[in-house]
Amino acid sequence: MASQSRPASALETIENQSETGKPMSISSLPRTVTKKLKTNLVFRSKWAELNGAMGDLGTYIPIVLALTLSRNINLGTTLIFTGIYNILTGLIYGVPMPVQPMKSIAAAALADPEFGVAEIMAAGILTGGILFVLGATGLMHLVYKWIPLAVVRGIQLAQGLSFTLTAVKYVRYDQNMAKSKSGDGREWFGLDGLILAVVCACFVIVVNGAGEDEHQQEGTENEAEGEAKGGINKEKVRKIIASLPSAFIIFLLGIIFLFIRNPKVVKEITFGPSSITIVKITKSQWKKGFIKGTIPQLPLSILNSVIAVCKLSMDLFPAKIFTVTSLSVTVGLMNIVGCWFGAIPTCHGAGGLAGQYKFGGRSGGCVALLGATKLILGLVLGSSLAKGFWEFYCCSLESS
């Protein structure tokens, strides 16, 4: 399905060299790979890439927070490992490839009080192991060829509708993340009221609903014509509005409101990383993790985290090559490694990629920047950020 004339990603550079029958010399290999990695991190626009980095936090933060508060997931460890994942995927793919929590495993954990840390990690390791095997053996490519395009588009539509309905629920009702339940209806006024949420949502729609790159290019002639006539250049105004980093502005707004709403949150933050330990998993926990976590998660991971992401990536970035093999392997490795240390099971996702792209992310530098921020927060502040994250989320992030 992918065009063979496009340049390969960094992960495939060595493979492509060997396929041509002209292996890379040992001396040129480091230089070639380093050049490719640097290219993958080049920012198209600093503000746009920074804004794009915020595009998936509306999904990442509530799930991670819910598991941290209700199932004692180590937030510091999760931030460190997901930060590393973000940096590596940015280096490898050169696009804003998202790193998201595995939603079916998270849902199973939040629905069952007995589904604890060990079961969550067992589910993540098993899911990652299966995806790694499917990718390494080439079986994922066969699945990719068999799945009709209509199914892929249906998955993308379902994800978009699911995120929309969840966002509406979070805006309308107070959320008890520790119990993963919705509370009473949210007040209209206040720093976490409905009015603020509606204003933030309208701001995002006005800014990011202004058009796509193609439309901006079409507007060049209109701009010149408008200037010639001496009238008000609406196209120029539209471009100024579209250039505003809406997600980043709301992010800063949330930080400000966080300290206004609860100044004492500063006292709850402590310096230093959380202790990282290897998770011990019993035979019964492996079994429960597989039945309640891996089995429902696997179809979603194959369809949304690998196949839909591959298709959407090729649609958004036709100048690059993406294979289900490499995507399946990276998702597998993330979980085979990180889950042993208590990091939340993660994957890629079509919704996260679309969100980061819509907000301006175009390069691997977008997610690498996000990853570096997560890594620093995890190392410097650790799990003490949980309370602050929740206050911040209530203030503004849910509306974006």
In this predicted model, what pLDDT tens digit does every residue of 220-234 receive, in sequence order? 444 445 455 545 577
Residue 376 to residues 55, 77, 334, 380, Cα–Cα distance (Å): 19, 11, 19, 6
Half-sphere exposure of residue 396, counting CA atoms within 13 Å on the CB side? 22
CA-to-CA distance for 372 and 303, rounded, in angstroms? 28
Confidence of residue 250 (pLDDT cuts 50, 70, 90): confident
3-class DSSP assignment, residue 55? coil
Q: Is the pLDDT of residue 209 over 50?
A: yes
For residue 305 the two structure tokens come to: 């985290």
Between 94 and 262, name the one with better pLDDT: 94
Segment 285-308 shows an average pLDDT of 95
Between 253 and 212, name the one with better pLDDT: 253
pTM for the full model? 0.82
Confidence of residue 295 (pLDDT cuts 50, 70, 90): very high
Q: Is the pLDDT of residue 312 over 60?
A: yes
Segment 259-281 shows an average pLDDT of 83
pLDDT digits over 362-384, tens only?
Answer: 999 999 999 999 999 999 988 88
The mean pLDDT of the chain is 81
pLDDT of res. 310:
92
As a whole-number percent, the residues of the chain with pLDDT over 90 amount to 39
Segment 291-319 shows an average pLDDT of 93
Q: Is the pLDDT of residue 305 over 70?
A: yes
Q: Is the pLDDT of residue 273 over 60?
A: yes
Q: Is the pLDDT of residue 240 over 90?
A: no
| Residue whose tokens read 């019993």 | 282
Q: Alpha helix (H) ranges present in the chain?
A: 10-19, 28-40, 46-53, 57-71, 75-93, 103-111, 117-137, 139-146, 149-172, 194-208, 213-229, 234-242, 246-261, 283-289, 295-300, 309-316, 324-338, 350-358, 364-380, 385-395
CA-to-CA distance for 218 and 246, rounded, in angstroms? 23
pLDDT digits over 7-60, tens only?
Answer: 455 555 544 544 344 555 565 667 777 777 778 888 778 888 999 999 888 788
Taking alpha carbons only, the member of 390, 391, 289 closest to residue 61 is 390
Residue 217 to residues 95, 242, 358, Cα–Cα distance (Å): 22, 13, 17
Taking alpha carbons only, the member of 339, 314, 301, 320 closest to residue 135 is 301
| Residue whose tokens read 């369809």 | 303
Among 213-217, 330-334, 353-357, the least confident range:
213-217
Q: Is the pLDDT of residue 6 over 90?
A: no
